[in-house]
Structure 1
Amino acid sequence: MNILIVEDDNIQKQNFIKMMQGIKENLTIYEAEDKADALKLSNENSIDIFYIDIFLKNSSGLDLAIDLRKIDKYEFSWIIFLTTHAEYITQAFKEVHCYDYILKPYDKDKLLAISNRIILHSCSKTIIERKYAIFDLKEGIFIKIYVDEIIFIEVNSRTCTIHTKNGIYEIKGISLKRALELINNTAILQSHKSFAVNINFITKIVKLNIKSYELFFEDYEKKALLSYKCKSLIIEKFKTKNPTYRI
């Protein structure tokens, strides 16, 4: 799940992230300090839960939430406000239909209780709505591959090899670009002219030389390549998922 914390106090924000690491689900935590950054991240990614400080730099959290509600995919998304002033919450419930609020300083038990409740509800829906792509394995044979099972994709001489948790599939005559179009998921990112990877399975990034890196994956021996051109995006996503990691 993707979470966005919008908080202009860096100490409070890092404290929040540290507490959220107590959740045993696979979470990607995005960070923003103001309305503009938050809207940019929300448009570029698919956010499942918003945690928004009522008071932000150059704007208010309420204004941000109102703008988020105008975006179709966030019309009914989970919004939780962070505040030191509970008197503003009535307005938040009326204008934004937020789910709940958390008073500062953060109460870890309440934060985890609210978050786990939402995640449990959302994951129960995800089981029904798992995304997949259909590939033409060979003439007359089609295969359904669930996106959350893809570890990485490698293309060599027009043969697309899809490495998954349940096996390896070779599909002839398909480019990496076409494979990514069929999958159409923000977790699967191109890392090299011949590779695309599932950011959720990366466990380690090792520099090979000035132009390339090697990607290691959870419970999987085979490795993928990361080029200098794709380095910034992949490392940024990886570090967001692993806040204590340093290249």
Structure 2
Amino acid sequence: MIHKTLIIEDNKAHMKALCKIVKELQRDIEIYCAYNTEQAYQLILEQHIHLFIIDIILNTKKPGDVSGLDFAREIRGISKYKFTPLVFITSLEDPKLYSYSQLHCYGYIEKPFSVAQVKDIILGALEFPVKEDDDRYVYFRKDGIVYSVYIKEIIYIESSRRKITIHCVNDELEIPYRTCGEILQELDSKSFVQCSRYCIVNKKYIKQIDYTNRFIKLRNVDAPIEIGIIVKKSFKQSVENG
């Protein structure tokens, strides 16, 4: 599974160094970068983050700034991020104590940081089990507008004529084309599996599977869904493994 890591750091040199260190871990890690809380809020809407690395001071021009702590406090109020590992970047002593007691911080990286220190802390944080949570929304952008879709209500997703159609329990949404691999990455849920080159299904809505004739019947869907020859084996393994 790919661990999505969000680094929030206003200093470009420090950001570059942290990204380089994280990439050297040779793990399935996808890195997202934000230089301020506005960018960070946008990213947590569009992605499901598994690890936060947050600089406590994000505005060095503002005396007493602790906007990184404020951001952490805000995300702790979001159910899916209530227990997501947080690692703070700091040279401050007092906020460090607050972060442990109030925000359930996993650890902190002290400036100036060393490569060994950063790797040790991040590797430890990545050992935390990733909670599979479908009781959340996934966000898709279309024509400059961000649409929210409740993951539990997605039945299947298909691509045709260079567009993607997301079929839900009560409605459907068309968005610009992207590959099934990209869609699965955005969904970030084991409930979904690719059943053909052009289609992804939610395993929780599967009513019947006919491997001989290669089709699936889904709840709330009249027409059968094809199982592609190329993905038939991986589809079967995914369904049988839950």
Secondary structure of 1:198's counterpart equals helix
* Residue 198 (structure 1) aligned with residue 203 (structure 2): no
CA spacing shift, 1:116–1:191, aligned 2, 3 Å: farther
CA contact (8 A) 2:10 2:36 kept: yes
- Code of the aligned partner of 1:17: C
Shift of 1:120: 2.9
Please name the residue that 2:233 is paired with: none
Corresponding residue number in structure 2 for 1:93: 100
Equivalenced residue count is 154
More helix by percentage: 1
Shift of 1:25: 1.4
Deviations 1:44-74 (A, max 9, x none): 2111100111111265211111111111111
CA contact (8 A) 1:81 1:102 kept: yes
Name the % identity. 25
Residue 37 of structure 1 corresponds to: 39
1:244 corresponds in structure 2 to: none
- The within-5 A match list for 1:51-130 is 51-57=53-59, 60=66, 61-122=68-129
User: TM-score, structure 1 length as denominator?
Assistant: 0.53
Cα gap change, 1:191/1:110 in structure 2, threshold over 3 Å: closer, same or farther? Answer: farther
Distance in 2 separating the partners of 1:176 and 1:56: 38
Q: Any idea what the Cα deviations from partners look like across 1:73-109, whole Å, max 9, x if unmatched?
A: 1111111100122342001112212111010122211
Question: Hey, what's the Cα distance between the residues in 1 that align with 2:183 and 2:120?
Answer: 24
Residue number in structure 2 paired with 1:208: none
1:191–1:197 Cα contact (<8 Å) kept: no
Structure 1 pair 110–37 and aligned structure 2 pair: CA distance change class (3 A): same
Please give the residue correspondences for 1:230-245 in structure 2 after superposition, counting only pairs within 5 Å.
none
Asked whether the equivalents of residues 159 and 165 of structure 2 are also in contact (C-alpha less than 8 Å), the reply is no
Partner Cα separation in structure 1 for residue 164 and residue 45 of structure 2 = 24
The answer on whether the counterparts of 2:34 and 2:40 sit within 8 Å (CA) in structure 1 is: yes
Structure 1 unpaired stretches of 5+? 132-152, 157-174, 183-189, 203-222, 225-247
CA distance in 2, matches of 1:199, 1:9: 30
- TM-score, normalised relative to structure 2: 0.54
Two-structure CA RMSD over aligned residues (Å): 3.4
Q: Is the 8 A contact 2:106 2:125 kept in 1?
A: no
Aligned residue for 2:149?
A: none
